[in-house]
Structure formats: structure tokens, C-alpha cells
Chains A and B, each alone.
Chain A
Amino acid sequence: MSTATEAPASVSTAGTTGVRSWRNAIILSVVALFSLLVFALGAPGNDVTFRLSEQSDRFVLPPIVVSAPVIGWVAALAMVALAVLAVLHTRSGRKVPRWVLAVFALLFLIAFLTWVVGSARTPNVALYGLLAGSVTLAVPLIFGSLSGVLCERSGVVNIAIEGQLLFGAFAAAVAASLSGSAIVGLVAAAVAGVLVSLVLAIFSIRYVVNQVIVGVVLNVLVSGLTGFLFSAVLTEDSERWNSPPRLPVIEIPLLADIPVIGPILFAQTIVGYLMYVAVAVIYVALYHSRWGLRTRAVGEHPKAADTLGVNVNRMRFMNVLLAGVVAGIGGSFFTLVAVSGFGRDMTAGQGYIALAALIFGRWNPIGAFFAALLFGFATNLSNVLSLLGTPVPDQFLRMLPYVVTVFAVAGLVGRSRAPGASGIPYIKG
């Protein structure tokens, strides 16, 4: 999928000043003013407490207590300063540096968090829980977006992530229930993901059906199929078919006790650990291995790869299947980690969010990882805040990931360039 592709200019960019773009400067200014109005002027008068550990933890860190108005004002004024800097840069014909955007985003996040927690009925939140929960919620998103990376990097648009996750979740539940082993469920989930991938690959590569169509239809197919089997089989005897054992959390001694990051990195289920491994392996392989070089070539300029003896369609086929393994494992999260048992359409559009994370992360495994974390954070925040009782309606918080995605794909946070041949079938003469 070519989202926000810039038309490739046929001329090189030799030492010229770009056509001046005021977009970044304007956006920063507007957001800075908004922050001034809401986070600074509208700051609650009380203190905000961020808890870093529980009393029962082995190492107990003292909570961070900050004054909401102070943080609000400091952050908002800093943001205004950065916006001014951006305007100055643009006026002198230079690009707004990326660090400005990064710092601005971080300040916004801090100010928002302080404001929103401070305005809640209980201005006290467990930061460690917020973060750990974000990672947990992000696990299927990360697997899903990695599946997207594998497909799109080799030139196949994968809208069917949702279907892969859902079928993976279903297969994991059934196989784990029947066998009594969560590991068997994990393997079954991978197989199920591959099955969905197989259909995607056959129709989009072999029969050259539009990839977006196949993806959309596959999602409907999987939703219908799992829904049907759920009511025809699973609910008939849910003891036998739909009561999978859960994957145990494997705590790594000592490391798991490190405050805040311990639970995130060292107290995960096997799916959680696999997630970190998958991100690292796919990143390294994509940019530093022969397979990666060929994959990227096939996704950018398949004919060039073909003329050098790389079998384009076989490469694509294999990568789409591999993507199925990854997304399928991600699907097992729903039934083996999150809850114990399959429910109709339980992935609830997470596959689409994964797709957004992929684009937000610029088709890069690491980027997709952080984008997915951000979406996980937004979702978790809305869960936590609805418990704390905030002034912001719950629905708006739930909207957040989607709105962020719209901004992302609209290029408001920097343009991203899709792989050149993504979505275009390769037809050999």
C-alpha cells in the first residue's frame, strides 16, 4: 500500500532549499496554544501521584508526586518555545529538526498525562501498571504489524492481519483445549495464520486478484467461519472445545524484580518473549541478511530482482506464509494469554490497528514496535482513566489511536514512503 507516497522526483536533490513547508510549524503552534489553554490554564490545582512500584515488591521506589499546574505551565511554555523555534526555522528556509518534533511530542505526552490524571477523581495512578499494561495490550498489535512488515516489504499488501489474528486465536483455543497443552495451541495458531496467508498468497500472487480485495474479503471469511464454528461447535461443548489452559508467566529471577521495566521485559509469557525476539530477528534479518536484501528488492523493484535471478513470486509467496506464522502466534495471545477461551470476533479490529502501526512505523520493524506500543498505551490509558474517573469522555480516549493514525497517514507527523512495488502484482512477460 502506498500511503502518502511522494512522487519520486527524477532529479537529484543537490544542495537546494526545499519548497518551504509551513505544515510542521503550523501544527506545532496550534498544539502548543492548545496545551497552553488546557494543560496550563486549565490545570487542576492539586498534586498528581505516579506510583512506580507496589508495596509488596522486592524493591520499592518512592512515588513521583508532581504539582499539576507546575508541570502544565512548564511543559506548555516549553512547547510554545519549540513552536517558535520551528517557525523561525521555517522562515529561514530550513527544515524543522527532528529532535524538535520528538521533544515536543514527549512534552505533550507528559503534560497530557499530568493533566488528565490530575483532573481525575483520584489523581493517583500506577505508572508501572500503565506501562506494563500497554506492552501487554501491544503484543498482538506488534505481531500483527510484523506480519504486515513481512508482506509489504516484499510487495504484498496485507489487509488480512485481522483475519490472521482471529484465526490464530481460534485455532489456539481449540487446539489447546483438545490437547490440554498451551504450547500445542501456540503451534496451531501459527498454522492457522499460515492458512489465511496461503489463501492471500494464492489469490493475490497466483490469480493476481487485487490484494486489498482479498484482504478485506478474507477478514469477512475468517470472521464468518470462526463465528459459525463457535456457535455450531464450541458453544455446544465448551468444556471440550473452548477451555484452553493459559500460558504461564515465566518470571526471570531477580531481573523481573527491577521496578517498572522488570515486569515489562522479564515477566512475560512465552508469547511476550517471542514478541521481543521476533522484532529483533526480523529487524536484523531485513536489513543485514541475504534474505532481507532480496525481500526488500522484491518489494521495491521486483523486475530488478528478477533480472538478477531472484524468483520474485516465490519470494513473495514464502514471505506471506512467514507473515502468517507471525500473525498467527500474535492471535494466540487473545486466547492463551489475555483471556481463557475464544469469543466471537474477539480481535475487535486489532488487525487494522496493527496495519496502522505498520504505516506509522514506516514499514520498519522497530518503528512498528514503537507505534504499536503507543497504540497499546492509548488503549490502556483509556482503560485506566475510566476507572479513575476523568473529565474526558471515555469514547474520546478510545478514539485516540485511530485519530493518531489518521494524523500519521495524512503525513502530519512526517511523510513515510511505502515500498515501491507494494500492492502491485508482478506479472512476468
Chain B
Amino acid sequence: MTPQEEKPEIPAHGRGENLTRGNAKDAARQDEVRLENAAETADGELPPPAAAATTAAPGTGPAPEAPLLQRIMTGNALVAVLSVVLSLILGGLLIAVTDPEVARASSYFFSRPQDTLGAAWSAASSAYIALFQGSVINVGGGSFTRVIYPLTQTLTVATPLICAGLGVALAFRAGLFNIGAQGQILIGATFAAWVGFTLHLPAGLHLLLVILAGMVGGAIWAGLVGVLKARTGAHEVILTIMFNYIATNLVLYFLSTPAFQRPGSTNPISPQLDATAIYPPLLGSAFRLHWGFVVAVVATVFVWWLLNRSTVGFELRAVGANPSAARTAGVSVSKGYILAMAIAGALAGLAGVAQVSGTEKVLTSGVAASFGFDAITVALLGRSSPWGTFAAGILFGAFRAGGVTMQASTGTSIDIVLVVQSLIVLFIAAPPLIRAVFRLPAPGAARTAKAGPTTPTPASTGAAA
């Protein structure tokens, strides 16, 4: 171990030498360098080294507050769009390849190749058209309600995704990799559901308490991870994964006790929540869309304010970006971890409320579906920014809602949605790959290929903690 200090030969924050060393401080520095690469300019376009930066004309690198147009021009948005396109193409290929019609046509591929290609096209396009019709607008729907019904379905599915995604994103910003949204949703849903079917309170108050209980449940479950991380230095990735399984078993256990089990049933299912504990429909009873969506919008605004305009957010971001500096500046890193996890858990708890009070109206062990895991991809796609997460939540909500329609009408398994989603996240994380595939010119120096990740992620903060 080398206890001496870094003396960067290049006055650019040692960028020329940002190599790996097995030293905690250096690890922190590494993170910082990588984070810096991924700074709000994102996309790994390195700000020019400082020596040049001080002399360079303003505008060589987009500042965080650069106009929207300029930011789009830098190509980040383009990479995002192309990632989605490429993923859809790959998904389409997969649908085509596994289609029985295509298989039949391919048996005489060499005599009539157009049959194979035609069958492939029709397989993929019909699946995607069904996906679109199931998630945005059902063109042939007839009545107005029918036409826009898919869109409201998308927003309904997006609601828990947005809430839980915000939780994951917020933890990311505080340097924590929160894989535990699944468990937090479950525990939040359990708390909320219990208040929902056990207490019998006037309308309004009841729902308010249900929401509160859900948030508290999630906050406790995640806060526990925060405490363990802060006190013992255990890695939150492992902790949250384990807490997911513990939560599932815990909920299963609860559902086998009289306090939770539906009277007269031996199945692990709770009684229905009181009508006063249910989110009212947002657009009338013809749609499933409920007020939980409005709560998700409010949560997004709140998280934006918290992160960017409040002292708490300043602390959390400082802890996430550089725990050593945060500590030196008088910010308690332990408190930061616990607080970040608790808030993240509360947001995931909201997702749980959206499930039990919004769509499911009962508690089962499957009430969280896979929203907790999807939330991770949502936060990654949204680059851990509140509105980015919101948008990503809607997109993935659309995939899910449309996927159901697709499965029903064309028989294409909804699993294709998972494939497309994960491909999108992978591609977005590696802009050089996308640029190579679409033969786009690499912006900036040739070194971008080696630049860091695109999402401000906690990397290995554990080492520095």
C-alpha cells in the first residue's frame, strides 16, 4: 500500500493517470474520475482537460444548464433514441425467428426467400402494432373511451414503476445501489393493506393513513439496510437482494396468520381493502387509472425539489459523489445513507400503495409483480434524474401494458418486453457501442471509448465508506 499522496503530473485532476490502485482513497478518486466523466454532461464526453478548459472558448462542453436544444445536439438524446430503436429491432428479430409461420416459410427459403422475409416482417410488425395499440391509442377502438383506454392503462402500470423508480434513482444519487425496491414495495404494500382492511375509517382519512402506512413500511424496510450499511459497512447490493427474499417470505408468513388471511380461506390472500382505502378513479369508472398516478407526479416533483433545491438533497448528492469530502464538510455520511435508503423505501412503499389501493385491492405475495426489478431499469434509463425516471417509467409502463395486449392478440409472449427493456438499458450505458453500430462520429477525443458509465452510479462506494 502506498501511503503517499497523488501528485498528478498532468494538472487535469490526474486524468492522464486515472489508473486503478488498491487503495481506498484512490478508489474514491477513481469513482470520482468516472463520475466526473459521467457528470451532468453525461455520455462520457469528457470535459476537455483543465489545462485546455481554462483557455478554451466557452461552450466546448455543454454546461448542466445549457439550453435543451444544445443538449439534444450533443447526441445524448440521439443515443437514447437509437438504443430504443436497436433494442426494438433485436426484439423484432427474436419474434420473427421464433414465429412458426417464419419457420415454415424458411424451409423453402432458397426458392422463395421473400416468403420468409414477409412472414418475418408480418410476425414482428403485428406484434409491435399490437404492443402500440395496447399501450397508446387503439385506433380501431370505436368509442373515445376505447380509443384512449390503452393510454390510461399505460399510466396505470407506470404509476408503481415511477414511484419505485424514483426510490432507486434517489438512492443512486446518494451513492447507493438499491436493488431492494421489490422487498420495499412488498413491505409497504403489507403495511398499507393491513391499515386498509383492518381499520375502518371515514373516507379521505383512511386513504391518507393507508398511504402513510405504505410509506412507513417501505421506509423501515429500506432504512434497516441503510443502518446496516452505515454501521457495519456491509454492501447494500447484497443486503437489498437478501432483504427482498426475506420480505417475500415474511409476507407469505403474514398471509398465513389470522391477522392477514381472508376469513374462511386457507390461501395466502388477504381480505379486500375497504372502499375508503382505495384510490378513487381519476377519469371515471370506465378506466382503471386512479389517483395514485397523481401521487406519482407529486412524488416526482418532490424528489426533484429534494435533490436539486433542498439542503437534504445537497447532502445526499455530496455523500453519493464523494463521501470523504462530504464527511470533511460536516455532512454525516451514515445519516446520509440511512436517510437516502429510508426515503427510497418510502417511495417504493408508495408503489406498494399504488398496487394494493390502486389496482389489486388485496394483498398477495405477488402484489409487487416484478415492479421492484423493473424499477431498477427505469431508474437507469432515466439516468437517475427525477423527470428522466418519470419518462422512463411511462415508457416501460407502455411496454408492460402493451405487452399484455400483444400476448392476448398475437400470442407473442410478454417476456419479449423484458428482453427489449434490458437491451435498452445495456445499450444506453454504452454509447460507443451505439455509435459504432450506427456509424455515428464519435464526439470529442478518441478517448471517449474508454469513458465512464453514463449514469451517475454509486460504483464501489463501499470501498471508500
B-binding residues in A (CB < 8 A): 1-8, 10, 155, 159, 199, 203, 207-210, 212-214, 216-218, 220-221, 223-225, 227-233, 236, 300-303, 306, 349, 352, 355-356, 359, 393, 395-396, 398-399, 402-403, 405-406, 409-412, 418, 420-429
Complex alpha-carbon distance, A212 and B175, angstroms: 13
Q: Is the CB of A10 within 8 A of B419?
A: no
The answer to whether B22 touches A232 (Cβ under 8 A) is: no
Bound-state CA distance A1–B421 (Å) is 25
Say yes or no: A395 contacts B430, CB within 8 Å: no
Q: Which of A4, A199, A221 contacts B235 (CB 8 A)?
A: A4
From residue A327, how far is it (CB to closest CB) to chain B in Å?
Answer: 17
Are A228 and B432 interface neighbours, CB within 8 A?
no
Q: List 19 A-B contacts (CB under 8 A).
A: A2-B462, A3-B462, A4-B232, A8-B1, A207-B432, A208-B451, A217-B377, A217-B426, A220-B421, A221-B423, A224-B417, A227-B415, A228-B94, A303-B20, A356-B242, A402-B242, A409-B234, A424-B463, A425-B20
Q: How far is the CA of A228 from the CA of B93 in the complex (A)?
A: 13
Q: Is the interface of B mostly helix, strand, loop or mixed?
A: helix
Q: How far apart sit A418 and B94, CA to CA, in the bound complex (Å)?
A: 39
Complex contact B238–A356 (CB within 8 A): yes
Nearest B residue (CB) for A422: B460
Q: Which residues of A sit under 8 angstroms from B380, Cβ to Cβ?
A: 213, 217
Partner of B460, one of A2, A356, A398: A2
Chain B residues with CB under 8 A of A212? 177, 237, 457
When the two chains form the complex, which single residue of B179, B246, B419, B433 contacts A402, counting CB atoms closer than 8 Å? B246
Contact A395 B418 (CB under 8 A): no
How many cross-chain pairs have Cβ atoms below 8 Å apart between A and B?
214
Complex: chain B residue closest to A235, CB-CB: B413
Closest to A424 in B: B20
A84 to chain B, nearest CB (A): 25
A227 touches B418 (CB 8 A): yes
Interface size of B by Cβ–Cβ distance < 8 Å? 71
* B20 adjacent to A207 (CB under 8 Å): no
Q: How far is the CB of B149 from chain A (nearest CB, A)?
A: 26
A155 to B459 Cα, complex, angstroms: 13
B382 within 8 A of A: no
Chain B residues contacting A409 (CB-CB under 8 Å) are 234-235, 238-239, 242
Q: List residues 361-392 of chain B with CB under 8 A from any CB of chain A.
A: 373, 376-377, 380
| Structural contact, A424 and B27, CB atoms closer than 8 A | yes
Write out the residue numbers on chain A whose beta carbons fall within 8 Å of the beta carbon of B16: 429
Within 8 A of A (CB), among B260-318: none
Please tell me which one of the listed residues B234, B377, B418, B453 contacts residue A3 in the complex, with CB atoms under 8 A apart: B234
B3 interfacial contact with A, CB 8 Å: yes
Question: Other than the known A209-B453, A221-B419, what 18 A-B pairs have Cβ atoms closer than 8 Å?
Answer: A1-B462, A3-B238, A4-B235, A10-B1, A203-B429, A203-B430, A212-B177, A217-B377, A221-B423, A225-B418, A230-B415, A232-B95, A232-B99, A349-B245, A410-B239, A411-B233, A420-B22, A429-B17
Residue pair A399, B246 in contact (C-beta under 8 Å) = yes
Pairwise interchain contact A10-B377, C-beta atoms closer than 8 A? no
- B246 proximity list for chain A (CB < 8 A): 399, 402-403, 406
**Given contacts A207-B433, A405-B242, A4 and B233 within 8 Å (CB-CB):** yes
Please measure, in the bound complex, the distance between the C-alpha atom of A418 and the C-alpha atom of B27, giving whole angstroms.
13
Interface flags for B399-438 (1: CB within 8 Å of A; 0: not) read 0000000000000110111110111011001101100000
A224 touching B415 by the CB < 8 A rule? yes
